[in-house]
């Protein structure tokens, strides 16, 4: 039973993530898991079992891209899942060992895991997905992210669970009170204001092109015409002031789209259109880009190139390693070899004002929202068709909600196969289109809030708290260690 508890607890912790959103169960599972790690004679192994089970379930959608061309790449799916499960599980394994050794007990392990998750969010290219604090996205605590961010939420989850695992009544009460803090903060904040009567309307387009057919010559025209029909559809309310299409929705390379751009602008009635496209730069390297088209002729008014690329999806990290093991050519082909852009930019969209475009994966990084002046709205272009119609797209939407709540900015996302959505400045979904359908949404632009605390501090506050806790726990742990009594001669 002692061997089974960590992986079982890890699986239950994962059920707090989208699409399940079982955050009460996940909170209890964190207590059970941390207690098991604190009592295990082999904390590293137990931590690996705990983490691998969590990430194996939470990130099981990572197998979907390998099943699109199953005859060629399906064999890589279990390797990829094992890689992320045990690779990210290693962070929890090291944290369990280090927390027991230098910080002591369940609380020390909790602080060490929180530190490991902060490191995982930034090290190398960073992957802040399925973090402990993300279990609260589905809860009333979500608005508290505007004050403490995802890692602040995670610290409350982990430290509260570690205190409860101590089983001492006074400390258990303190842990429950700590759990209550983000809920109290979230409920104390006022709801996001509603859109004004004269707010501009943005139309979101969802063409619904399944990935295995998206670039099929027999189907590309069908999806393009579906998108055009949705773009040109008569509104039921005020006319749209702008149109948003998903990532890589233009069916030709940008330099070959001179005939397509006027058609799109005409369907939009001459209002600005932001659409995902692909292009080659001056260095002849491909770029994943978003293009702002204006006027009846669809003139290219601005271009933004995606700069946070997906490892193994859009670029190949550590190419020398894959060459050494004989997978270099295949891995490079799968990765696509895209060139990153220079960084986040604001685009001035006529009738809307400054907008921050984020392309797909970029929406998981909160620091990108602090790298520019404050926009009026975040526009998220994504193609989640790579990840099927299950767990991955729903987790991606949850992270978009978190970005809105952290920044106090509305977020409007156009997703190729769904979920396209309108999200207010507290992270609440106001309107959405389900996965697997083509259609459009006309939505008045929700207002932004004043820049909240987290937008100003980022994750520095969480890092400082973690360092102070680590120092205090380390000092306390050394102070209570008793030297063994020498044996009698």
Answer yes or no: are the C-beta atoms of 109 and 162 closer than 8 Å.
yes
What span, in angstroms and rounded, lies between the C-alpha atoms of 402 and 145?
Answer: 7
A 10 A CB-CB count for 190 gives: 8
| Residue that has been written with the tokens 């015409």 in this structure | 225
Rounded to whole angstroms, how far apart are CA atoms 131 and 128?
A: 6
Burial class (CB in 10 A: 0-12, 13-18, 19+), 28: middle
Instruction: Tell me the CA distances in angstroms from 199 to 242, 267, 283, one per residue in order.
Output: 12, 22, 41
**Residue 42 and residue 22: Cα distance in Å, rounded?**
29
Q: Is 306 a catalytic residue?
A: yes
Catalytic residue among 306, 314, 362, 406: 306
Is 117 known to be catalytic?
no
List the strands of the sheet with 420-423, edge to edge. 347-349, 353-359, 377-382, 411-415, 420-423, 429-433
- Supply the DSSP symbol for 413: E
**CA Rg value for the chain:** 24
DSSP H helical ranges for 99-237:
105-122, 145-164, 169-188, 211-214, 217-232
Active-site pick, 64, 117, 230, 247: 247
The enclosing H or E element of 242 equals strand 242-244
**Contact at 8 Å (CB) between 249 and 267?**
no
Q: Would you give the distance in Å from CA 50 to the centre of its chain?
A: 22
Q: Based on the number of CB atoms within 10 Å of its own CB, is 399 exposed (0-12), middle (13-18) or buried (19 or more)?
A: buried
Burial of 213 (0-12, 13-18, 19+ CB in 10 A): middle
Tokens representing 76 are: 């890589």
Q: Which are the contacts of 288, defined by CB distance < 8 A and separation ≥ 6?
A: 247, 248, 276, 278, 305, 306, 309, 314, 338, 359, 360
Per-residue b or e along 239-269, where b marks 16 or more CB atoms closer than 10 Å to that residue's CB:
ebbbbbbbbbbbbeebeebeebbbebbebbe
Q: Exactly one of 117, 360, 362, 406 is catalytic; name it.
A: 360
Q: Which string of b and e fits 471-482 if b means at least 16 CB within 10 Å?
A: eebeeebeeeee
**Alpha carbons 276 and 271: distance in angstroms, whole number:** 16
Nearest CA among 79, 149, 165, 78 for reference residue 117: 149
Query: What does the chain come to in residues?
Result: 489
Active site residue 64: no
Report the DSSP beta bridge partners of residue 414: 381
Active site residues: 247, 306, 360
């Amino acid at each position: 039973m002692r061997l089974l508890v960590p992986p079982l607890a890890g699986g239950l912790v994962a059920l707090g993530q989208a699409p399940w959103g079982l955050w009460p169960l996940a909170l209890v599972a964190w207590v059970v898991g941390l207690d098991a790690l604190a009592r295990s004679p082999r904390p590293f192994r137990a931590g690996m079992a705990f983490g691998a089970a969590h990430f194996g379930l939470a990130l099981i959608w990572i197998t979907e891209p390998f099943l699109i061309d199953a005859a060629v790449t399906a064999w890589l799916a279990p390797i990829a899942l094992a890689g992320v499960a045990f690779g990210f599980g290693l962070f929890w394994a090291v944290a369990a060992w280090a927390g027991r050794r230098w910080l002591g007990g369940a609380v020390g392990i909790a602080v060490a895991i929180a530190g490991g998750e902060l490191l995982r969010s930034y090290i190398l290219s960073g992957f802040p997905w399925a973090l402990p604090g993300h279990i609260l996205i589905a809860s009333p605590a979500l608005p508290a992210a505007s004050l403490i961010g995802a890692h602040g939420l995670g610290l409350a989850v982990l430290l509260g669970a570690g205190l409860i695992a101590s089983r001492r009544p006074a400390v258990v009460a303190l842990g429950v009170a700590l759990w209550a803090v983000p809920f109290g903060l979230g409920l104390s904040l006022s709801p996001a204001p509603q859109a004004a009567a004269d707010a501009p309307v943005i139309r979101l387009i969802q063409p619904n092109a399944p990935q295995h057919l998206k670039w099929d010559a027999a189907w590309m025209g069908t999806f393009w015409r579906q998108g055009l029909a949705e773009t040109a559809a008569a509104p039921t309310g005020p006319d749209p002031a702008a149109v948003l299409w998903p990532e890589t929705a233009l069916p030709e390379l940008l330099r070959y789209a001179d005939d397509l751009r006027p058609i799109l602008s005409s369907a939009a009635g001459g209002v600005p259109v932001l659409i995902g496209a692909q292009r080659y730069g001056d260095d002849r390297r491909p770029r994943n880009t978003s293009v702002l088209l204006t006027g009846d002729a669809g003139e290219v008014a601005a271009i933004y190139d995606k700069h946070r690329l997906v490892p193994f999806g859009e670029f190949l990290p550590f190419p020398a390693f894959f060459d050494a093991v004989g997978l270099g050519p295949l891995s490079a082909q799968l990765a696509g070899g895209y060139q990153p852009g220079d960084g986040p930019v604001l685009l001035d969209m006529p009738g809307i004002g400054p907008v921050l475009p984020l392309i797909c994966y970029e929406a998981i990084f909160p620091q990108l929202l602090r790298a520019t002046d404050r926009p009026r709205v975040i526009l998220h272009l994504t193609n989640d068709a790579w990840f099927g119609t299950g767990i991955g797209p729903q987790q991606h939407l949850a992270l978009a909600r978190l970005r809105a709540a952290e920044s106090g900015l509305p977020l409007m996302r156009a997703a190729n196969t769904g979920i396209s959505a309108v999200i207010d400045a507290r992270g609440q979904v106001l309107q959405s289109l389900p996965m697997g359908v083509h259609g459009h949404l006309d939505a008045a632009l929700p207002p932004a809030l004043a820049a909240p605390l987290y937008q100003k501090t980022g994750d520095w506050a969480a890092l400082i708290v973690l360092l102070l806790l680590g120092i205090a726990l380390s000092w306390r742990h050394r102070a209570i260690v008793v030297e063994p009594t020498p044996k009698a001669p």
